[in-house]
Amino acid sequence: MAVKEQLYILDTNVLIEDPEVIFRFQEARVGIPIMVLEELDKIKIENSSRGASARLIARHLDKIRSSGSLKDGVQLENGTVVQILFQDGCNLEKKPKLRVDITDNKILMVAVSMQECGYDVVFVTKDINARIKADALGIKSQDYMRGLVLAENYYKGWQEFDIPGVELRKEFPSLLKDLVGAGTVQCNEFIALYSKGNEYNNRIFRYRGGGVYREVSQPKIAWPIVAKNMHQIMALDLLLDNDISMVSLTGPAGTGKTFLTLFVGLYNILVSNQFYKMTIARSVVPLGHDIGFLPGDVQEKLRGWMQPMYDNVDMITRLLASQEGAFHDNEEQPYEDSGRHSRHHEESRHSRNRRFPKKNFHRRERQSSPIISLDDLINQRKVSLEAISYMRGRSIANHFIFIDEAQNLTTHEIKTLLSRVASGSKIILSGDPYQIDVPYLDFSTNGLVVATDRFKGQPIFGSVFLPTSERSEISRLVQELL
């Protein structure tokens, strides 16, 4: 019995997610239904990453057709044959009864037609319902797996261990060397060590590569900032390290990602002068129903989307003006009213976020804040608010670049943004990979998670997952109950 030739039929969403997908296969036959090309033709006019992907696919196919007929199939250098497919390729004796006014159904009928022609068809799509329909029609289907990062393998940027107290008192506990020998620690990954029986007796180390560790502690800078938990200490260590050019901060709402990033960014442009300017961009994906057209120029339109930035800068302004919180004796709240945080911490061993003993700080005289408002900083050209859509083609040098809500960006969009970073700049990607508002993106495929997974272990990159909300008791309960 002759072995059937395998034919991979690609859905529109696969081509949009990865415009280079036709070059990923090796010595295979890849089919693109004509209906998919019609959908791409409608998408290509969009001023978005989807439109850019559709245009790139069109350019690839236009170049390929110069080597032969796409209807019959054109062989690429890697042995793969690319072919445009039509439903009338073979006559079906019994056609399944599907609505022909739905594009997905037309694509599936092409798959059925090619299977009747003798091919071993595999339908590749990101659409779960399309895969279910394909199965009902007797067509093998699969998700497009390239770039997939499983939640259980997600890189958090830290590991936690309990060790005997006598080991913890050593300059460098022996466990650190064991992790290097086993190859289970990445460059710039944090190791949190706790004394058995005393969770408040702890130390943090960051692996610098080459068998070298550096101990990490509360940062000492001119502005009043104190991390509320061990993971915030890790985040600040990366944000303040001039040798780290790219940082990924992930975690649920209220964990301090935006506040800490803005605080360090403003400190770097106003005090240490490490960077010329801070550039802030944010994914403009609405939560729930959109309110429609917004009047005004780009900056006026961005104001609503950037309101979280205004809120956090206002909070920083009040903190600097009053010098209350972190620099009062025996107080550990750096940016919120400490009276609101009498909470019980009952966290599992795998997600525990032990709090540090309260520190004593010298009282300082009150002084006026160097920040008046975010609008003033924008007028002084110290800060710029940018729409991600307009960052293509730029080269951003000597900037502190903050990309918020990055979980709503595709891998292609993240790649475009990262390629904008020029000499002397630092970029921070922030977001909650469990809270995605964009169709066809999920935990495993969004640009924030994929970029974190690809860059882990690079000497210029560091990442921290912040698991515990410090915003309020309500915010903390939301993460547990909803």
Neighbouring residues of 278: CB distance < 8 A, sequence distance ≥ 6: 265, 266, 268, 269, 382, 383, 384, 399, 400, 401, 402
Distances (CA, A) of 122 to 31, 34, 119, 415: 10, 17, 9, 29
N-terminal to C-terminal alpha carbon distance within the chain = 56
- The pLDDT tens digits for 189-238 are 999 999 987 878 999 999 999 999 999 999 988 888 789 999 999 999 99
Residue 182 backbone dihedrals phi, psi, to 5 degrees: -85, -10
Looking at the structure, tell me whether residues 132 and 240 fall in a common domain: no
Looking at the structure, tell me whether residues 323 and 431 fall in a common domain: yes
- The pLDDT tens digits for 378-419 are 899 999 988 777 777 788 999 999 999 999 888 888 988 999
Q: What value does the mean pLDDT of the chain take?
A: 82
The whole domain housing 402 covers 235-341+348-481
pTM above 0.75, yes or no: no
Looking at the structure, tell me whether residues 133 and 251 fall in a common domain: no
Could you tell me if residue 467 is inside a domain?
yes
Could you tell me if residue 307 is inside a domain?
yes
Looking at the structure, tell me whether residues 281 and 138 fall in a common domain: no
Looking at the structure, tell me whether residues 327 and 465 fall in a common domain: yes
Neighbouring residues of 439: CB distance < 8 A, sequence distance ≥ 6: none
Q: Where are the beta strands (DSSP E) in 34-72?
A: none
Looking at the structure, tell me whether residues 114 and 260 fall in a common domain: no
Could you tell me if residue 247 is inside a domain?
yes
Q: What is the secondary structure of 291-310 as a DSSP string?
A: -----S-HHHHHHHHTHHHH
Structure tokens at 300: 């006026």
Looking at the structure, tell me whether residues 255 and 395 fall in a common domain: yes
Instruction: Kindly provide the b/e burial profile for residues 200-213, where b requires at least 16 CB atoms within 10 angstroms of the residue's own CB.
Output: eebbbbbbeeeeeb
Share of the chain above pLDDT 70, in %: 79
User: Helix, strand or coil for residue 37?
Assistant: helix
Chain-centre distance for alpha carbon 182: 28
Q: Could you give the number of structural domains in the chain?
A: 2
Look-up of token digits 């091919």? 119
> Tens digit of pLDDT per residue, the chain (482 long)?
567 899 999 999 999 888 889 998 888 999 999 999 999 999 999 877 788 889 999 999 999 999 999 999 999 998 999 999 987 655 545 566 677 778 889 999 999 999 988 999 999 998 889 999 999 999 999 988 765 566 777 899 999 999 999 999 999 999 999 999 999 999 999 999 999 878 789 999 999 999 999 999 999 888 887 899 999 999 999 999 999 999 999 998 889 999 999 999 999 999 999 999 999 998 765 444 444 455 555 566 666 678 888 888 888 888 888 764 443 333 334 444 333 333 333 333 344 444 444 444 334 434 445 667 888 898 999 999 887 777 777 889 999 999 999 998 888 889 889 998 999 999 999 999 988 877 667 788 888 999 999 999 999 999 999 998 877 677 667 666 66
Could you tell me if residue 218 is inside a domain?
no
CATH code assigned at 63: 3.40.50.1010
Tell me the C-alpha distance between 30 and 5, whole Å: 11
Could you tell me if residue 176 is inside a domain?
no
Q: Pick from 142, 162, 187: which residue ends a domain?
A: 142
Could you tell me if residue 293 is inside a domain?
yes
Q: Pick from 88, 122, 142: which residue ends a domain?
A: 142
Please answer whether residues 168 and 442 qualify as being in contact, where contact means their C-beta atoms are separated by less than 8 angstroms. Answer: no
Neighbouring residues of 302: CB distance < 8 A, sequence distance ≥ 6: 284, 385, 386, 387
Looking at the structure, tell me whether residues 239 and 134 fall in a common domain: no
Please answer whether residues 100 and 75 qualify as being in contact, where contact means their C-beta atoms are separated by less than 8 angstroms. Answer: no
Tell me the C-alpha distance between 43 and 55, whole Å: 8
Tell me the C-alpha distance between 192 and 173, whole Å: 11
Look-up of token digits 């694509």? 107
Looking at the structure, tell me whether residues 318 and 427 fall in a common domain: yes
Looking at the structure, tell me whether residues 317 and 463 fall in a common domain: yes
What is the per-residue pLDDT for 233?
Answer: 96
Q: Where are the beta strands (DSSP E) in 151-189?
A: 158-163
Q: Pick from 95, 114, 142: which residue ends a domain?
A: 142
CATH code assigned at 259: 3.40.50.300
Looking at the structure, tell me whether residues 127 and 244 fall in a common domain: no
Could you tell me if residue 69 is inside a domain?
yes
Looking at the structure, tell me whether residues 249 and 116 fall in a common domain: no
Look-up of token digits 């007929």? 69
Could you tell me if residue 189 is inside a domain?
no
